[in-house]
Copies of this chain bind each other. A is one copy, B any other.
Amino acid sequence: MRATRLHGPGDVRVDSVPDAALADPTDAVVRVDAAAVCGTDLGFYRGHAPTAPGQRMGHEFVGTVVETGADVTGVRPGDRVIVPFNASDGTCDYCVQGLPISCRNLQVWGMTPGIDGGQGEAVRVPFADGTLVPIPAGTSEQMLPALLALTDVMCTGHHAAISAGVRTGAEVAILGDGAVGLCAVLAARRLGAERIIVFSTHEDRAAVAKQFGATDFVSARDQAAVDGLLHLTQGRGVHHVLECVGTEQSWATALGVVRDGGTIGWVGTPATTGPTLPSLLMRNLTLTGGVAPVRAYLPQLLGDVLSGALDPSPVFTMVTDLDGIAGAYREMDSRTTLKALVKP
Contact = CB atoms under 8 A, between A and B. Distances in A.
Given A94-B260, A260-B102, A283 B273 contact: no
A281 interface: yes
Interface residues of A, number: 35
A73 interface: no
A278 B269 CA distance: 8
A266 B261 contact: no
Given A102-B260, A236-B93, A283 B278 contact: no
Interface string A259-278: 01101001001101110111
A310 interface: no
Contacts of A251: 277
B290 A94 contact: no
From DSSP, what is the main secondary structure of chain A's interface residues? mixed
Interface string A76-95: 00000000000000000110
Given A286-B286, A287-B286, A277 B273 contact: yes
A283 B292 CA distance: 10
B281 A94 contact: no
B287 A287 contact: yes
A97 interface: yes
Contacts of A170: none
Given A94-B261, A102-B260, A261-B102, A280 B276 contact: no
B99 A284 contact: yes
Contacts of A287: 280, 286-288
A280 B290 contact: yes
A255 to B, nearest CB: 12
